[in-house]
A = this chain, B = another copy of it.
Amino acid sequence: MRLSFLGTGAAGGVPLWGCECAICTRARVDTSVRRQPNCALLEAGKTRLLIDAGVMDVAERFPPGALDAVLVTHFHADHVQGLFHLRWGKGALDVYAPHDSEGCADLYKSPGPLKFTHLSKFEKRELGEVSITAVPLVHSKPTLGYCIEHEGARLAYLSDCRELPPATLEFLQRWQPHTLCLDCTFPPGADQPRNHFDLLETVALAQHFPESEMVLMHIGHKLDAWLQDRPDALPAGMKLAYDGETLICIGVP
């Protein structure tokens, strides 16, 4: 099972508009440190799933038939804005998403080829060669994480969240992901209130999953800046995701 990160940034991406911090200034000239909004491509056998659609060229990257489905974590614009363009096109694309009566803009009113299916908490589906289980997350909008299994390999994609509901934590502890991709927007000590994990919280959570590879995503410029000054701050088994990076997730026998 392969997970390719197309966008690993928090809502505004990196560089942030008008921000003159060292990270954003560098990102304007060094595209390798840019972070687009949230989006990842999961490939397992012949199955291709897009997780979120924050990048703006989804229509160009994925013509009809290139994806089996889209898994939407929630309906904030930076997670679904790449779907807007598809709506006046031809064909059909299954989109799995949480129950959210608002949606985003007029995605529901004018869905065009997008065929929305709303998943309930802990609902399990077989999509091509993978099985997915939708797990509830605590964020500022109804939000689902996705636990994805293929030939014994287990990958959890949890974004956006500021907290795991106890039932989600219990599920994950039973399920034991080999790879756990987690919202980590802020460095330690970010201002309250907020709707995303900071690094201290992800490190604390990682202690529940000593066997898992922890991959941090939905990263804000302040976390990049904080880590640039502290290159050894991440514990063993934890790393940042980068745009364009591909993870391989193989079940350990």
- B63 adjacent to A18 (CB under 8 Å): yes
A64 is contacted by which of B13, B17, B63, B89 (Cβ under 8 Å)? Answer: B17
> By the criterion CB–CB under 8 Å, are B89 and A59 in contact?
no
Stretch at the interface among A38-46, A75-83, A153-161, A209-217: A75-83
Cα–Cα distance between A104 and B16 once the two chains are bound (Å): 21
**How far is it, in angstroms, between the C-alpha of A13 and the C-alpha of B89 when the chains are bound?**
9
Residues 3 to 27 of chain A near chain B (Cβ within 8 Å): 10-13, 16-20
Chain B CB within 8 A of A251 CB = no
A197 adjacent to chain B (CB < 8 Å): no
Interchain CB contact under 8 A, A19 and B90: yes
Distance in angstroms from A113 CB to nearest chain B CB is 7
Check A88 against B10 for contact (C-beta < 8 Å): yes
In the assembled complex, the CB of A18 is this many whole angstroms from the nearest CB of chain B, namely 4
Task: With both chains docked as a complex, state the minimum distance between the C-beta of A56 and any C-beta of chain B, in angstroms.
Answer: 4
Q: A86 to chain B: which residues have CB within 8 Å?
A: 12, 17-18
Q: Across the interface, do B17 and A90 meet the contact criterion of CB distance under 8 Å? A: yes
Q: Are A87 and B11 within 8 A (Cβ)? A: yes
A13 to B76, CA, bound (A): 23
A-B residue pairs in contact (CB < 8 Å), sample of 6 = A10-B88, A11-B88, A16-B90, A17-B88, A104-B105, A105-B105
